[in-house]
Amino acid sequence: MANETPQQKPAATTAQSQAQAQKPAAQQAQVQKTTTTQTAQAQTQGQTVKKFYILERTNPVTKKLGFYFNEIGTKNPARGFLNFIDALKSFILVGRESKVPCVLYFHRLGSYRGFVTLEQASVILYKISKIKIDNTKIIAQLEANKLIQPLTANKYASDTTMAVAIQEFDLDEKAKDVKITVLSPLKKIDEIVMGDIRAELPGFTVEIAKILINDDKLDVYYAIKKDASKSSVFIKSLSGFGGKIQLSTARSIYEDMQMKSRSDNKLSAKFESKAWIFLSVLSVAAVITFILFVIIALKVFKMK
């Protein structure tokens, strides 16, 4: 009997090891299931859930495939990306800063294909960042490999909502073609009022939100409307007041912020460069002064 006991222990130990080895995978699956369930419960119970989308679509202007990320229902312009991974990263960054649960919907070929929670999006990013992906097939592959949750009758978004988003996206492209003219071109820039500005685009209603003086330019903020849909706000700059008026290309508010940020960075870099040159010259001058002082001191010492 004393010899039988040691022979039975390895089998028990092996079984325990196998059970322990299976725990991480089971726990991971349970966490993923729990996260999805909690998000669904939050929506069912009326709690706030932020909903975002990544729209796979060919840009009607550039004819290039792109991925457009935005929050569903917002009036802010969608951010366009050439690579799917960059759009996914944008959602993860926004989701991590959010104080409420976030879900991301994938839309292609005219309909929603599925959704993921923030945690699931992070898992997808980890997996696809290690391989070379085909942007033209990535959403279809995620759907085929069941890496995104299929939509149910209780889905958080609707195809109607996305149809509105696509219509507004098309309006954003059209809004860039708005023609802006100054009715009183001989006026000085600080004398111009909104009534002096005409903005038009055949077939659309153009609304001027405001005008702002930006150095020697006048920024015109505007949007276009078509039936019940309205574009995002865009900006075009007028310059050359008192002479030949020139009009810039359109830019979104997000692009305007990026442009101003780059300008500030250039000014900062220019200032730092000048400061470095000044300090360098000052240091050289100090060294030369010290050397001259030493030479003079030595001459005085020799004379004594």
pLDDT tens readout for residues 256-287: 777 767 666 666 666 666 767 777 777 777 78
294 DSSP β-pair partners: none
Q: Which domain holds residue 248?
A: 175-256
Which residues neighbour 176 within 8 Å (Cβ) at sequence distance 6 or greater? 61, 234, 249, 250
In a domain, 108, yes or no: yes
Tell me what pLDDT residue 210 has.
94
Last residue of a domain, one of 219, 240, 256: 256
Q: Is residue 102 part of a domain?
A: yes
Give the residue from 157, 184, 218 where a domain finishes: 157
Residue 34 falls inside a structural domain: no
Q: Write out the DSSP string of 21-74.
A: HHHHHHHHHHHHHHHHHHHHHHHHTT---EEEEEEEEE-TTT--EEEEEEETT-
Report how many domains make up the chain: 2
Is 279 part of a structural domain of the chain? no
The pLDDT tens digits for 292-302 are: 777 777 776 66
Tokens of 241: 């007041």
Residue 52 phi, psi dihedral angles, 5° rounding: -125, 165
Query: Tens digits of per-residue pLDDT, 217-249?
Result: 999 999 999 887 788 889 999 999 888 899 999
Answer yes or no: do 86 and 148 share one domain: yes
Mean pLDDT of the chain: 77
